[in-house]
Structures are given as structure tokens and as C-alpha cells.
Amino acid sequence: MCWNFPQPENNPEEFYAVTEIPTGGIIKYETDAKTGFIVADRFQSMPVAYPANYGSLTQSLAGDGDPLDVVFLYPRADGPGHAD
């Protein structure tokens, strides 16, 4: 599924973010900037579990050229590609 959808224009307090790595996940996924698809970026060689859902803002760019990072602070674990 493609997650390259635009941010809301008329409400600066709302934004779209996509989960790339779920809470407890050990596979690092990323949203491909060109296609908008969620792809496996790497498999952790050491068992490292992410403590929170981690993702990015759609159609955004940070200084490193990647989408802006987001950490979701709620108790449920979402799968890769979950949009909030």
C-alpha cells in the first residue's frame, strides 16, 4: 500500500504519520521516499526491540533528506504501515 499522501492543508494542528516500526519490533522498515511504499530496511543483528511505535510524517523531509521521524506515545502496538 502506498503511504505517500499529502498533509492536511487547512489545519496546522493535524498531520498524517505512518508507523514504520511497531512497539517491540525487531525489523526496521522505512517509507520509500520515491514510491511511498513501506519496505524492510534492515533486520537487527542483535535482538533490539523498539520501546514505542516509530514512524514518519508523510511527504516531509528532514535535514538528512529522510521523512521527519515520529514516535507514537500510546500503549498499543501498530503494524508497519498503520496510519494515524
- Span 1-84: which CATH code? 3.90.80.10
Is the distance from CB of 5 to CB of 39 less than 8 angstroms? no
pLDDT digits (tens, 9 = 90+) for 16-70: 888 888 888 878 888 777 777 888 888 877 767 778 888 888 778 888 888 888 8
> Where in the chain are the domains?
1-84
pLDDT at 82: 66
Asked if the model's pLDDT at residue 79 lies above 60, the reply is yes
Is the distance from CB of 29 to CB of 20 less than 8 angstroms? yes
CA angle 82, 84, 54 (to 5 degrees): 65
In whole angstroms, give the CA distance from residue 73 to residue 6.
23
